[in-house]
Copies of this chain bind each other. A is one copy, B any other.
Amino acid sequence: MVGGMTEMRVETVTTYDGWYALHDFRTMDWAKWAGASAKVKEQALSEFQSLLGSWQETAGAEEGSHAVYSIVGQKADLMFMLLRPTMKELNKAELAFSKSLLGQYTKPNYSFVSIIEKSSYTKQYDNPYEDPEMRQKLFTQIPMDDYICFYLMSKLRGETYNWFQLPKEDRGNLMFEHIETAKPFTKEVKRIVTGAMGLDDYEWGVSLFCEDPLQFKKLIYDTRFDEVSAKYGIFGSFYIGYRIEQEDMATYFEV
């Protein structure tokens, strides 16, 4: 296992990488917010609308994308999903909210830093960054569907089953089976996979988008029986939320 190692080395896989991504979860301090004066609330919301407006301009110029969700349950109240061409722009957007008046009524609770990633297991490109179809996937607008399901994932490096010691061909076959299982859902459930090796603690984040959250459950349920998920999948938290439309913002924060 040790001698002559370099000949036996497991082949890696090439990835194609797009915009950087930040999933930014915040908890409202409702008691503090309820105690704010009407004037402060108005100022905070108007400032927040300006911030969203500037982000909308960025999206319009195809230099990023964003969406705001209400998270169901106590894991968070708000979640911002932000896509930007550079890490600095990501941090700039994050800090803009943290420093904003509304942001001061929230507490940070979780975030995930990653980058839109396409692996080459199923298809390889010579010039991925020139390919229009690939570019469309790497530098994409966040789908407008009502619901989001975001979850964290790593691959097992167990003493018996070790994803990173499997031959590339086997890994490719397992990914292929996985994609087959997911196929019946492809139309209804959109997907952005972001890679985070070297950037955050879990290796991948998966953002699913759908009009009907039951489809998230059915998709995850079915794929859980795939060999790749059953044997090699390490799953972190699952977050479920729905998009807060511009016109519902006022209602959302009304207290």
**Given A162-B230, A198-B221, A199-B240: A74 touches B109 (CB 8 Å cut-off):** yes
Contacts of A225 in B (CB 8 A): 9-12, 164-165
| A73 cross-chain contacts in B, Cβ below 8 A | 22, 24, 94, 111-113, 200
CB pair A242 B87 closer than 8 Å: yes
**Once the chains bind, are A238 and B198 in contact (CB under 8 Å)?**
yes
Count of A interface residues, CB-CB < 8 Å: 96
Q: Which residue of B lies closest to A159 (CB)?
A: B160
Query: Which chain B positions have C-beta within 8 A of A169?
Result: 2
How distant is the Cα of A15 from the Cα of B30 in the complex, in angstroms?
A: 37
| Known A17-B217, A164-B229, A199-B240; contact A72-B99, beta-carbon cutoff 8 A | no
Taking the nearest CB of chain B, how far is it from the CB of A94, in angstroms?
7
Q: Counting CB contacts under 8 A, is A45 at the interface?
A: no
**A199 — which chain B residues lie within 8 A by C-beta?**
149, 213, 216-217, 238, 240
Stretch from A58-66, A128-136, A170-178 forming part of the interface with B: A170-178
CB of A164, distance to nearest CB on chain B (Å)? 4
Contact of A87 among B75, B157, B213, B219 (CB under 8 A): B213
> A200-214 vs B: 1/0 string, CB under 8 Å?
110000001000011
Q: Is the CB of A74 within 8 A of B229?
A: no
Q: Closest CB of chain B to A216's CB: distance in Å? A: 4
Q: Given that A5-B173, A22-B72 are contacting pairs, would A220 and B198 also be in contact in the complex, using a CB cutoff of 8 Å?
A: yes
Known: A99-B30, A197-B221. A94 touches B72 (CB 8 A): yes
Report B-chain residues with C-beta under 8 Å of the C-beta of A74: 24-25, 108-111
Question: Which residues 101-121 of A sit at the B interface, judged by CB distance below 8 A?
Answer: 101, 103-105, 108-113, 115
CB of A123 closer than 8 Å to a CB of B:
no
CB distance from A27 to the nearest CB of B (A): 8
Q: Does A98 contact B (CB under 8 A)?
A: yes
Kindly state whether residue A224 has any CB partner on chain B within 8 Å: yes
A88 interfacial by beta-carbon distance below 8 Å: yes
Given the interface pairs A91-B70, A91-B72, A159-B161, the reply to whether A216 lies near B198 with Cβ below 8 Å is: yes
CA distance A115 to B77 in the complex (A): 20
Q: Is the CB of B217 within 8 A of A115?
A: yes
